[in-house]
Amino acid sequence: MSYLLTEDQQLVQKNARDFAMQYLEPLAVQLDKTGEFPAEAVKKMASYDFLGWFLPTEFGGADFGYLSYVLGVEELSRASAAVASIVVNHSSAAYAINRWGSAEQKKKYLPALARGEKLGAVAMSEPGPGVGQGPEAVIATQQGGGYALNGRKSYVANAGVADVYVVFGCTDAAAGAKSLAAFLVNAKAEGLEVGPKKSTMGLRARPTADVGFHNVAAEVLGTVEGGAAIAAEVLAAFAVAEAAQTVGVVGVAVQHAAKYAQQRVQFGRPISTFQAIQTMLAEVNTNCYVARLAVYDAAALIEQGKPFTTEAAMVKLFAQRLGMNSLLETLQIEGGYGYSEEMLMSKLFRDVSGTTILESPLEFPEQVIAASIG
């Protein structure tokens, strides 16, 4: 890797790689089969500061920076994209609180999030065509000195295991998304109901469920008027971490396919000597290399406090194409062997679909990129 990583960043990367190989790799296949939440693995990651990678030391975080965070996410994803996704969704909630929380809110939530005593989740998607649309849209109404939420969020990652939710709801039903605001909600709040865990194609060990709100007490995160800007930045920062997951999965897939190609013999020689196979491997590996550099660059912008939403959108768009296309190529190289549910490639194929399409609508990258040109 030619990207100029500091010694500290390389150490974070190595620690995450060693942890993934020692603790996550032996669990990954079983977690994929059972879909069981890896409570002990999450607890172990907390002891390694993985749940507070970029959070300030004053709140118990490691303060390694956002680039170190995505380096770690990539390495965890190489062993278990599901476990990495738990970390990414938790960290997205922590990012929002650290970025927009009041001094009191930071003190209340961040130390526990950094230590893994609490897990975070972001509740964005809704059953309707968009946030603030449809009969089950989450609407916030003033109640006493705070707000009460009513409605339902769908496909909330970490639902059921999270202790605090960053929830996006509208303060004006008629205005819809134009009145979007961000709220903090305690998972134990009266009226909050987590639905049954959803059965997903991939990322099976990461809990996903709908969350219902019935006059649930909530505190505003940031300002009531600033919800749309908060949502946009949270989604952009999430997209960079999510792309790191994709790069990790694709990196493992191309290595696995290359090894298989060296061992598989046809017409008296390894298929790795066939030009068609070499072309497929070369293209996947090249695209993975380019995506990795783009992820690191966008993460560095976030770490430096510079504008990054356009770069994040380009990373998101490229990662979407990289993920599924690369897994189709590597699966084709392994043929029937790779198609078997008992083998690694089918798991990687299912997981990469989750790292590319779950957390933000597919039109999000194109809209942001197109608007930035000129």
Residue with tokens 């790779």: 338
Query: 242: Cβ–Cβ under 8 A, 6 or more apart, which residues?
Result: 88, 316, 319, 355, 356, 359
Residue 242 and residue 173: Cα distance in Å, rounded? 31
Q: Decide if 359 is catalytic.
A: yes
Residue from 56, 96, 108 nearest 241 by CA? 96
On the CB side of 11, CA atoms within 13 Å amount to: 8
Residue 178 and residue 71: Cα distance in Å, rounded? 35
Active-site annotation holder among 126, 242, 311, 359: 359
Residue 235 and residue 363: Cα distance in Å, rounded? 13
Could you give the dihedral angle defined by the CA atoms of residues 131, 137, 138 and 139, in that order, rounded to the nearest 10 degrees? 100
Q: What angle do CA 98, 101, 103 make, to 5 degrees?
A: 100
Query: 184: Cβ–Cβ under 8 A, 6 or more apart, which residues?
Result: 97, 101, 105, 109, 164, 165, 166, 167, 218, 219, 220, 221
Burial of 133 (0-12, 13-18, 19+ CB in 10 A): middle
Residues known to be catalytic: 359
